[in-house]
Amino acid sequence: MKDKAFAAEIQFDVMTSKAIRLKISSLRDTYRLKLSKKKKTKKELQETTDATRNSMSESQDALDTKSILAVSTSQVPRVRLRNRRKKEKMLNYEQQLTV
C-alpha cells in the first residue's frame, strides 16, 4: 500500500512539474510576444515622428522660400500682370458679345 501511495505521489509530482514547466514556457512566450510588440510599436512611433518632422521641415522650407520670393518680388510686375489680366478679360468679354 505504501508503494502505491508513494508511486501516486511521484506521479503527482511529475505531472505538477510538467504543468509548471508548461506554465513557465507559456509565460515566457507571452512575455517575448509583448516585448516584440512593444519594440514594434516603439519603432513605428519613431518612424511616424521622423516623418512628421521631415514634413514639417519641408513645409517650413517651402514657407521660407515663398516668403523670400515674396520679399524679393517688386510690386511693379504684379501691377502689370494684374492689368494684363484685366485687359485679357475685357477682350474675352468683348469677343463673346460679338459672337
Interacting residues of 73 by C-beta distance below 8 A, sequence separation 6+? none
Whether the per-residue pLDDT at 73 is higher than 70: the answer is: no
Q: Stretch 79-98: mean pLDDT, rounded? A: 86
Cα gap 80→87, rounded to integer Å: 11
Whether the per-residue pLDDT at 91 is higher than 60: the answer is: yes
Query: What pLDDT, on a 0 to 100 scale, did the predictor assign at position 87?
Result: 92
Cell of 91: 477682350
Cα gap 74→67, rounded to integer Å: 13
